[in-house]
Structure 1
Amino acid sequence: MRMRFVSLALAVIVLFVAIGGMVFKGFNFALDFTGGYETEVQFSKAVDTEALRKTLEQSGFKGAQVRVIGSSNEVVIRMQAQEGGKRIDGNNVVASLQSAENPATLRDYYYVGPQVGKELAESGLQALIFVVVGFLFYVWIRFELKFAIAAIITTLHDVVLVAGWFALSGHEFDLAVLAGVLSVMGYSINDTIVVFDRVRENFKTLHKLSPLEIMNRSVNQTLSRTIITSFVALLTVLALYFYGGDSLKGMAESQILGIIIGTLSSIFVACPLLLMLGVTKQDLMPKARDEEALNARP
């Protein structure tokens, strides 16, 4: 808690940087949201996706994304509509990659309309609102309104930072990344509730300590548990990032950031916010609060 003003100031600065990135730079939306063409191609041998991308670029297919699916000789090529709305033909894509050493075969070809992406974005926003409201009511009922407000602010801070990273870095934002961003809320609220639960216990048992001392003790008591739990979760997501393939890399990246940011915010943001909101022992004990209000009457 001694670092609470510094940590809150840093959190606010980074938050505004993330919001600025989303507002002024925007996201690099994938075909899931913008619409475009997908072509699945099978080769007789394993392929280098970067070499295929360069070949497509030289053939006039700008901004192609190549990902391995299934075995190392099967790829999916995703391209947004070309300039002037020019239609992309799957056979032309395969022809540009054809070689005597490694013949290519067209497996599937389809168009993804932008309307689908709009519906997905709206569904994601609705899911975000639903989760925020659900968390707010759960923490309010489980703890107290001040706890709920601090928890929601902390959680939204983590989500905005992860989303801002994708805007600033220019990394592709697809449906898998959206799912990862939503899962960040789960990591964040979990760590925050663990700390808040210890705060509540200490408020009930440590009567002589001030709220500042109780917050500090609660964070220290849960610190090892928070770090160990987050570290184990991080190992799992790192394995997904390195070995899950290109299609899952974006989701894993968002979850890695979410775990790290969520762990730090539960330590350096949640309790300082709770302290700023003026939480006291009476907030957690309705009977004592009512008696105090009764005694205060003239």
Structure 2
Amino acid sequence: MRLRLVPDNTRIDFFRYMRFWLAVSILGILGSFASIAVFGLNYGVDFRGGTLIMAATPEEHDVAEFRGLLTELDVGDVGVTTASDTTGAGRHVVLMRLGVTGEDATNQREVIAQVQAALDQAFPGISYLQVDTVGAKVSDELVLDGVLAVLLSVIGIMFYIWIRFEWQFGLGAAASLLHDAIVVVGLFSLFQMEFDLTIVAAVLTVLGFSINDTVVVFDRVREVLRKYKRMPLVEVLNLAFNETLSRTVMTVLTTMLALLAILIFGGPTVRGFSVAVILGIVIGTYSSIYVASAVVLWFGVKRDWGSAKGETGAKRDARV
């Protein structure tokens, strides 16, 4: 017996409160920009520059002990968190982020050696699992590269949708993806969660998930347009969303199960990634309805898909 989370013949009117949800989307984007302007982003070592030391001790120690020692050494901003040991060796793993910046590699090595010597003396038996250093210049380049990666991904996806469907669908997809990226980054700013290259990878993952869902819906919209050439566009979109609802729910739930497992058992190293993707999936599913489709509904689409000279002015159908 096939599992059915959604009835086959749903008749949900997704566009009944279209104006309200559009207002929510606009407020979400404006709020994200405001949060970034006021609070900024809590950049990690990748973007801010500094040193990350992952160490393990045979006995458990309070993070305050590590933080106090590092603060006395005057190594800039200090952040200390614990991590789970996935090897089963019974070690106690701690992550230390130091604000050791500058372009002098020799000076950085000397500071790291000084920190390790102090840790060796204070915590006998400590071992170093990972030591990463990012200079200030490299971190600035990474910020630019991260922004370019997101923008180029959106532009590439927009042209792909444009070629496969119509320009209205391309604009809708681009608006949806920009909405998703801005709101996810805004939430990281609002809650001051650490933002590093892992989060950039998560945002790109979210864009991929979101466009996959959007393409499935747009493909169904095209099929319905071919079948019902005189049906108002808002009804076409509603029918397409209802027909793909079961697939959307199953995809979101199965992905969420995997992400929740990563969030709970993955430890602090991948926690930011899992949180970003979870937020992005929820926001992306929402935006495929109330952002991407809203743009298509506003501009209208060709009514006769098989003809290059078919009707295009469907705005009169968009009474929402």
TM-score normalized by the length of structure 2:
0.80
Task: Give CA deviations for 1:68-114 in whole Å, capped at 9, x if unaligned.
Answer: 365443434221139xxx974444456358567x6424566553212
Counterpart of 2:255 in 1: which secondary structure? helix
RMSD: 2.7
- 1:184 is aligned to 2:206: yes
Paired position in structure 2 for 1:129: 151
Contact 1:35/1:111, CA 8 A, preserved across alignment: yes
Task: Report the structure, 1 or 2, having the larger helix content.
Answer: 1
Contact 1:91/1:106, CA 8 A, preserved across alignment: no
Contact 2:56/2:127, CA 8 A, preserved across alignment: yes
Paired position in structure 1 for 2:99: 80
For the structure 1 residues 81 and 9, does the alpha-carbon distance in structure 2 shift closer, same or farther, using more than 3 Å as the test? Answer: same
Q: Please, which runs of 5 or more residues in structure 2 have no aligned partner? A: 1-14, 72-76, 102-106, 314-320
Contact 1:15/1:157, CA 8 A, preserved across alignment: yes
| Total equivalences in the alignment | 284
Q: Please, which runs of 5 or more residues in structure 1 have no aligned partner? A: 293-298
Paired position in structure 1 for 2:5: none
Q: 1:59 aligns with which of 69, 86, 99?
A: 69
- 1:7 is aligned to 2:21: yes
Paired position in structure 1 for 2:11: none
Task: Give CA deviations for 1:155-191 in whole Å, capped at 9, x if unaligned.
Answer: 1101111011111110000111111011111111111
Paired position in structure 2 for 1:295: none
- 1:104 is aligned to 2:126: yes
Paired position in structure 1 for 2:12: none
Aligned pairs (5 A) from 1:161-200: 161-200=183-222
Paired position in structure 2 for 1:231: 253
Partner Cα separation in structure 2 for residue 207 and residue 110 of structure 1: 60
Aligned pairs (5 A) from 1:1-298: 1-45=15-59, 47=60, 51-52=62-63, 54-59=64-69, 61=71, 62-68=77-83, 71=87, 72-81=91-100, 88-92=111-115, 95=118, 103-106=125-128, 109=131, 111-282=133-304, 284-289=305-310
Identity of aligned residues (%): 32
Partner Cα separation in structure 2 for residue 25 and residue 234 of structure 1: 29
For the structure 1 residues 28 and 227, does the alpha-carbon distance in structure 2 shift closer, same or farther, using more than 3 Å as the test? Answer: same
Partner Cα separation in structure 1 for residue 310 and residue 115 of structure 2: 74
Counterpart of 1:207 in 2: which secondary structure? coil
Paired position in structure 2 for 1:296: none
For the structure 1 residues 229 and 40, does the alpha-carbon distance in structure 2 shift closer, same or farther, using more than 3 Å as the test? Answer: closer
Q: CA deviation at 1:199?
A: 0.8
The worse-fitting range, judged by mean Cα deviation, of 129-138 and 150-159 is: 129-138
Task: Give CA deviations for 1:234-264 in whole Å, capped at 9, x if unaligned.
Answer: 1111111111121111111110011111111
